[in-house]
Amino acid sequence: MSRRPLIAAGVLAILAAMAAMARFLYAARYINPYRPQIERIDLPLPAGSEGLAGMRIGFITDTHVGPFIKQEDLQRALDLVGAESPDLLLLGGDYASESPRYIADVAERFGTLAKTLPLGAYGVLGNHDYSITGHYAFEAFRDVGIPLLRNDVAEVRYHDVSLWIAGIDDTLLGSPDPVGTLAKAPGDAPKLALWHEPHFAEEAAAAGAFAQLSGHTHGGQVRLPIIGPLGLPIHGHRNVIGLSDANGMPVYTSRGVGVYRPPVRVNCPPEVTIVTLVASTPLA
C-alpha cells in the first residue's frame, strides 16, 4: 500500500493547523483589542443612601493611547458610553502610553464626552500616567474640566443627595492614602473609591468605602481556559477581573479599553462599564 495518501493527509493536517494558528494570532493582535464591549453592573448602596438609587456611572480605564491604541479606538469606546447617557463619568487611569504627546488629545476627547453628562467626570492617575505623562496628564485633564483626584474627594449631587468620589493615588508610583482620603468626606456619607490598582481594596473597605472601581490588570489580556491569565502586573494579582469581594465591599475591576506589551487580547475583550447604583434593601 502506498504511503503517499498518508503523507499527503499528514501534510494537509499540518497546513490546516498552521492556518488555524495564523488566524488565532492575527485575531489576538489585530481584531480582539479593537472591539470594546459594554459591561453592566449594579452596586448596592449603603443603608440611608437610597436617594442615589438609579444613578448611572460610566467607567472607563486603561485606554493606553499610543502606538497600539489610536485616538479612533479611544473614540469608539467613548461613543459606547456616550450612547448610554450616564449621569457621571469616572476614569481609572493609564490614559496614554510610550509618550506624553498623546495625552492632550486624549484629555480633549474625554472632556468632550464629560460636557454632555449632567455630573461631568472625575478620574485618578495610574502608574503609566506617572511614568510616561507625568504632570502633563494632570494638567491636560484639568484644562478640559476633569479633575484627577490624588488622595482627594469630590462631592457630586444626584437628586439633591450627595455621593462622594474618593480618588486614591496610584500604588506603584504615587503616594496612596486611603484612610486620609476617605476621611475627607463626611463620616456617614456614601463614599465610592476610585483606585487604579485593585490589589489593596480591603484598605478602602476598612476606611469606609461602600464600593471600589479599578483597572490596571486589563483582566490579564490573555486568558486561557483552566489556566486563566498568563501574566498580571505588579499590584494586580488580587481582584483581577470583574466583580469581587474585599472584606464585604464589592470591588469591580474593568478589563480596560487598551493594551500594553504584548498588544494582544485572548478571551479578554476590552470594555467600558456602566455602573448602576441600587438600593441595598427594597424601597417601600
From residue 43, give the alpha-carbon distance in Å to each of 195, 213, 252.
Answer: 16, 10, 9
Which cell goes with 145? 474640566
| CB burial string 123-152: b at 16+ within 10 A, e below | bbbbbbbbebbeebbbebbeebebbbbbbb
pLDDT of residue 172: 97
Is the pTM for the entire model greater than 0.85? yes
What CA–CA distance (Å, rounded) separates 198 from 201? 6
C-alpha grid cell, residue 41: 453592573
C-alpha torsion sign, points 259, 260, 263, 264: negative
Superfamily of domain 31-278: Metallo-dependent phosphatases (3.60.21.10)
Domain boundaries, the chain: 31-278
The pLDDT, as a whole number, for residue 282 is 55
C-alpha span between 52 and 32 (Å, rounded): 36
Find the helix or strand (DSSP H, E) in which 179 lies: helix 178-182
Check: CB of residue 77 under 8 Å from CB of residue 60: yes
**Cα 52 to the center of its chain, rounded Å:** 22
Mean pLDDT in order along the chain per 10 residues (284 residues): 74 81 92 98 96 98 98 98 98 96 97 98 97 88 98 97 98 97 97 98 98 98 94 97 98 98 97 96 54
pLDDT of residue 10: 77
Q: Distance between CA 185 and CA 161 in Å, rounded?
A: 14
pLDDT at site 24: 87
Residue 179 CA to residue 183 CA, distance in Å, equals: 6
* Amino acid 6: pLDDT: 79
Model pLDDT, residue 12 = 80
pLDDT score, position 91: 99
